[in-house]
Amino acid sequence: MKPSTVKGTRDFSPLQMRRRWYIFDTIRNVYRLHGYQPIETPAMENLSTLMGKYGEEGDKLLFKILNSGNFMDKTGADSESFWQENRETERMSRALLSKISEKGLRYDLTVPFARFVVQHQGELCFPFKRYQIQPVWRADRPQKGRYREFYQCDADVVGSDSLNNEAELVQMIAEVFSAFGIRVQVRINNRKVLAGIAQTIGCPEKMTDITVAIDKWDKIGEEGVRSELGGRGIPAEAVEKLFPVLHLQGDVRQKLQDLRIFLQESPVGLKGVEELETVFRLIEQMGVKTDCALDLTLARGLNYYTGAIFEVKALDVEMGSICGGGRYDDLTGIFGLKGVSGVGISFGADRIYDVLNDLNLYPESLVSGTQVLFVNFGEKEQEWTFAPAQALRAEGISVELYPSPAKLQKQFSYADNLKIPFVAIIGENEHQSGQIVIKDMATGEQRSVSPQDLLQAVSSAE
């Protein structure tokens, strides 16, 4: 009987909203400071824009919107033959889908961005640096930490091949997490290096298998990786050749030197090493202090990315990747605009929310919405509160008058429940003496102040 949210979706309470805005505002501010420009695209896109862009599984996970009105019209479902041919409902669903639905909800921000670039190419000035913070929807099975509606926070540059972009994105990642106070490691790899490794050991078509196997090194050790590779059809000689890569030691510089020797016969691999060298050099020049590691096991979105790959892990909490990204060489090709290279990152707002929560890193000020509650003693007395309340608001302080002259206890418990730090009282006595009584709800302390000192009295929290 009691109404509820759709499974896998969430309401956000005022406290959750303030925390989420803190996350979005922090990310948005870093994007803005680096010259990225905001755009927004509609929640719904034509299915022709969305279908086929996320693989077969992705097509199934798109939320599709039913055409309005008489949606069965022109489906042919009223013909005898349709019914004969589609007696199994699964077949019927497939036959009807494209006819009764033409729109779907945004599944990520990347495909709508590609559509945006192609549609507005005449108005845009390249390189185009854009950011976009909007919800996306996926008809996934809901489970802990996985929602059907969640926000993505993307920044991308398109129309520039310069590795300055890669380095600046790492710089931005460092700034965002430094602002949050979350200690992270940025793991960096390059898809060309992975291709070079596969080439060097004589299995150019096995890049994904090799990377997946290497990725398990920490968990299953050297012997585990050996047998994993064998299981994935990598010949024993190739596995032997691979081992120098697994034993790379030292700092980034040393590793890249050794990698250069290892990949000396692979032009693509050497190109990847060179790109990594440049990116790491630029990061250093930019003064990034965050730990940035070369991680050859990093493989994210292998089919999609073509150059640099980034992934960020929190150091002080067990959690998957909280930010990722990379270089892709042909974002807009799917919509007919060839040769537009791009590179971008995306922050996982929901996971960052959990990390900040687990590490207790939210600013204390987010707990309160209203800063000052004026007590309501009645029709005559409330008039005395209007001017001081407005004076505080003019200074940016959030102020409420309790709307009715309820029992004092009720008004104070309202302040308590909403964690309002200060209660202001103007009764007959205060009015006579031109004073306002301020109660600090944390300490219980009360004091009288003049209207001139009111701002200072309620700003002194924390």
Q: Which of residues 52-111 bind its own copies (CB under 8 A)?
A: 60-61, 63-66, 68-75, 77-78, 83, 86-90, 92-93, 96-97, 100-101, 103, 105
Place of tokens 């979350």: 182
Name residues contacting its own copies, limited to 163-182 (CB under 8 A): 164-165, 168
CA separation (Å) from 414 to 421, 423, 455, 457? 11, 10, 22, 21
Nearer to its own copies, 48 or 450 (CB): 48
> C-beta of 52: minimal distance to its own copies in Å?
12
Indicate the length of the chain as a whole number: 462
Task: Give, as one character, the DSSP assignment of residue 202.
Answer: T
Nearer to its own copies, 208 or 278 (CB): 278
Q: Pick from 293, 401, 437, 449: which binds its own copies (CB under 8 A)?
A: 401
Of 119-127, 176-184, 290-298, 447-455, the window that binds its own copies (rule: CB under 8 A) is 119-127
Q: Pick from 23, 45, 206, 436: which binds its own copies (CB under 8 A)?
A: 45
> C-beta of 435: minimal distance to its own copies in Å?
21
3-state SS assignment for residue 44:
strand
Nearer to its own copies, 100 or 361 (CB): 100
Is 458 an interacting residue with respect to its own copies (CB under 8 A)? no
Residues 316-341 as b/e (b if ≥16 CB within 10 A, e otherwise) read ebeeebbbbbbbbbebbeebebeebb
Pairing status of strand 342-347 against strand 323-328? antiparallel
Nearer to its own copies, 126 or 243 (CB): 126
Name residues contacting its own copies, limited to 10-29 (CB under 8 A): 10-14, 17-18, 21
Nearer to its own copies, 4 or 249 (CB): 4
Name residues contacting its own copies, limited to 284-343 (CB under 8 A): 285-287, 335-336
Nearer to its own copies, 53 or 313 (CB): 53
CB 132 within 8 A of CB 27: no
> C-beta of 257: minimal distance to its own copies in Å?
21
Q: Can you read off the two tokens belonging to residue 341?
A: 């290279």
Q: Can you read off the two tokens belonging to residue 379?
A: 């029709």
Nearer to its own copies, 100 or 268 (CB): 100
Is 3 an interacting residue with respect to its own copies (CB under 8 A)? yes
Is 1 an interacting residue with respect to its own copies (CB under 8 A)? yes
Determine the distance from the C-alpha atom of residue 452 to the mean position of all C-alpha atoms in its chain, rounded to a whole number: 44
Is 264 an interacting residue with respect to its own copies (CB under 8 A)? no
How many residues belong to the site for its own copies (CB under 8 A)?
108
Q: Can you read off the two tokens belonging to residue 100?
A: 């009764």
Q: Pick from 155, 157, 322, 424: which binds its own copies (CB under 8 A)?
A: 157
Q: Pick from 26, 290, 341, 382: which binds its own copies (CB under 8 A)?
A: 382
Q: Pick from 23, 27, 107, 130: which binds its own copies (CB under 8 A)?
A: 130
Q: Can you read off the two tokens belonging to residue 126?
A: 């390249």
> C-beta of 162: minimal distance to its own copies in Å?
4
Place of tokens 């691979």: 242
Q: Pick from 51, 54, 58, 139: which binds its own copies (CB under 8 A)?
A: 139
Q: Pick from 118, 170, 214, 426: which binds its own copies (CB under 8 A)?
A: 118
Nearer to its own copies, 116 or 262 (CB): 116
CA atoms within 13 A on the CB side of 299: 17
How many other CB atoms sit within 10 Å of the CB of residue 230?
Answer: 14
Determine which helix (DSSP H) or strand (DSSP E) holds 166, and give its type and residue range: helix 163-180
Q: Pick from 275, 414, 436, 457: which binds its own copies (CB under 8 A)?
A: 414
Determine the distance from the C-alpha atom of residue 21 to the mean position of all C-alpha atoms in its chain, rounded to a whole number: 12
Give the integer Cα–Cα distance in Å for 9 and 21. Answer: 18
Place of tokens 């009105």: 69
Q: What are phi and psi of 442, to 5 degrees?
A: -75, -45
CB 206 within 8 A of CB 198: yes
> C-beta of 233: minimal distance to its own copies in Å?
33
Q: Give the DSSP per-residue string, 209-221.
A: HHHHHHTTHHHHH
Nearer to its own copies, 68 or 249 (CB): 68
Of 194-202, 248-256, 391-399, 426-434, the window that binds its own copies (rule: CB under 8 A) is 391-399
Alpha helices, DSSP H only, in 286-427?
349-358, 379-394, 408-417
CA atoms within 13 A on the CB side of 338: 0
Is 437 an interacting residue with respect to its own copies (CB under 8 A)? no
